[in-house]
Amino acid sequence: MASSIETRRCPGTRVAGGRRGPSLPGFKPWAVLPSEIMEPAFPDGSSAVPDDVLIVEDDAIIALDLEDTILGFGVKTVRTAASVARTLEMIADRTPDFALLDVGLVHEKSFSVAERLDALKIPFAFVTGYGGAGAFPAAFAHAPTLPKPCSTEALRAVLKRRPNGGSAAR
């Protein structure tokens, strides 16, 4: 059954959500399901997801996967860094709207990045394979944390989290 909302797309292109249509007889790659349409802005005029997300991840495959997924949510810009030094440079050049931080980078932890983001009031979440809050300094014990691997739904939820009706935040 065809969706009531359709738009023309070239076969094999990505639809919202980053999925590709299968090559099956009768499949309409231009059909967009209502659940795949970008969500409207919040009443305060802000978008449902941040415009600029910074990913701090030293594993290139994980970083690319996160980037692809986040772009599929409608985020306009995704930047990646694999070290604390490079991340701090990127933040100094242009502050992101949100950041995802892998805790354990090669030979270093990302807590100094979290401290800088916190000082700038930039929301962030940790994405880590480490379990339990005991692995985090007390200042970040209650920061949002996603496990590795995390579900697409959990990633989308942390990007949209808005305490006190404000902008996307930790």
What domains, with CATH codes, occur in the chain? 1-37 (no CATH), 52-165 (3.40.50.2300)
Q: State the pTM of this model.
A: 0.69
Pairwise CA distance, residues 16 & 148, whole Å = 23
What pLDDT digit, counting tens, does each position of 9-68 carry?
Answer: 434 434 444 444 444 555 454 444 444 444 444 444 445 889 999 999 999 999 999 999
Residue 167: what are its φ and ψ, rounded to 5°?
Answer: -70, 170
Pairing of strands 145-147, 124-128: parallel
